[in-house]
Structure 1
Amino acid sequence: MKRALILSGGGSRGAFQIGVWKYLQKIDWQPDMICGASIGAINAAAIGSGLGVDELTRLWTTYNRRRICRLQLLKFLSNALFRRSFVPLMDTTPMQAMIHEVIDFKALKKSRCEIIISAVNLATASPEFFNQQEITPDHLLASSAMPLLFPYHMIDGMPYWDGGIMANIPLMPAFLRNMDEIVVVLLSPVGHAMLPRPERLEDAGEHLLEQFLAGSYHSALMAERFFNGKVSHNDLLPPSSYLRKQQLSYHEKAGQPLHCLQKEEHSNPAFGTKRPRIITVAPSRMLGIASLLNFSRKQAERLINEGYENARCTLKLSKYDYND
Structure 2
Amino acid sequence: MISPTTSLANDSKKGPQRALVLSGGGARGAYEVGVLRYIMHALPAELGHAPRFDIISGTSVGAINAAWVAATLDEPHYCAARLEHLWRALNFQEVIRFSYPEVGRLLYHYLVESKLPGPLRRAQLALSDTSRPGGFLHTGFFDRLVRHEIPFRRIEHNLASGHLRAASVTATDIISGQTTVFVQSHQPLPPWTRDRRRIARAGPITPKKVLASAAIPMLFPSVQVHGRWYCDGALRQNTPISPALRLGADRLLVISLKSEPPHARARHPTPVPEHLRRVEHPDLSYVLGKVLDALLLDPLDYDLSVLNRVNAMLRYGEEAFGEERFLPTFNDVIRSHRGQGYRVVEPLLLRPSRDLGELAASLARTLPESFWGSAPLRRIGQRATETEGGRESDLLSYVLFDGQYTGELIDMGYEDAAARHEELVGFFRDEEA
1:13 to 17, 28, 37: 28
**1:143 matched residue in structure 2:** 213
**1:241 matched residue in structure 2:** none
Contact 2:331–2:342 under 8 Å retained in 1: no
How far residue 92 of structure 1 moved from its aligned partner, in angstroms, is 1.4
**2:37 matched residue in structure 1:** 22
**1:250 matched residue in structure 2:** none
Distance 1:208 1:149, change over 3 A: closer
Give 3-state SS (helix, strand or coil) of 2:172's partner: strand
For residues 229 and 246 of structure 2, the distance between their equivalents in structure 1, rounded to whole angstroms, comes to: 26
Number of paired residues? 293
- Name whichever of 19-28 and 218-227 sits farther off: 218-227
Contact 1:190–1:210 under 8 Å retained in 2: no
Distance 1:74 1:128, change over 3 A: closer
**Which amino acid in 1 is paired with 2:31?**
F
Distance 1:168 1:78, change over 3 A: closer
How far residue 265 of structure 1 moved from its aligned partner, in angstroms, is 6.1
1:74-223 correspondence to structure 2 within 5 Å: 75-76=102-103, 80=107, 83-85=111-113, 87-111=134-158, 112-113=163-164, 114-132=166-184, 133-191=203-261, 194=264, 197-199=271-273, 200=276, 201=282, 205=287, 209-223=292-306
How far residue 53 of structure 1 moved from its aligned partner, in angstroms, is 1.2
Q: Does 1:303 align with 2:375?
A: no
Contact 1:192–1:282 under 8 Å retained in 2: no
**Which amino acid in 2 is paired with 1:115?**
A
Contact 1:190–1:214 under 8 Å retained in 2: no
How far residue 192 of structure 1 moved from its aligned partner, in angstroms, is 5.3
1:33 to 55, 73, 76: 55
TM-score normalised by structure 1 residue count: 0.79
TM-score normalised by structure 2 residue count: 0.60
Contact 1:227–1:266 under 8 Å retained in 2: no
For residues 272 and 355 of structure 2, the distance between their equivalents in structure 1, rounded to whole angstroms, comes to: 12
**2:398 matched residue in structure 1:** 292
Task: Structure 2: state its 5+ residue gaps.
Answer: 1-15, 45-50, 73-77, 114-132, 185-202, 277-281, 315-328, 358-393
**2:420 matched residue in structure 1:** 314
**Which amino acid in 2 is paired with 1:305?**
D
Q: Does 1:55 align with 2:76?
A: no
- Aligned identity (percent) is 26
For residues 35 and 94 of structure 1, the distance between their equivalents in structure 2, rounded to whole angstroms, comes to: 23
How far residue 311 of structure 1 moved from its aligned partner, in angstroms, is 1.8
How far residue 88 of structure 1 moved from its aligned partner, in angstroms, is 1.9
RMSD between aligned residues: 3.1
Contact 2:215–2:231 under 8 Å retained in 1: yes
How far residue 78 of structure 1 moved from its aligned partner, in angstroms, is 7.6
Task: Structure 1: state its 5+ residue gaps.
Answer: 232-262
Contact 1:8–1:187 under 8 Å retained in 2: yes
Structure whose CA Rg is larger: 2
Give 3-state SS (helix, strand or coil) of 2:298's partner: helix
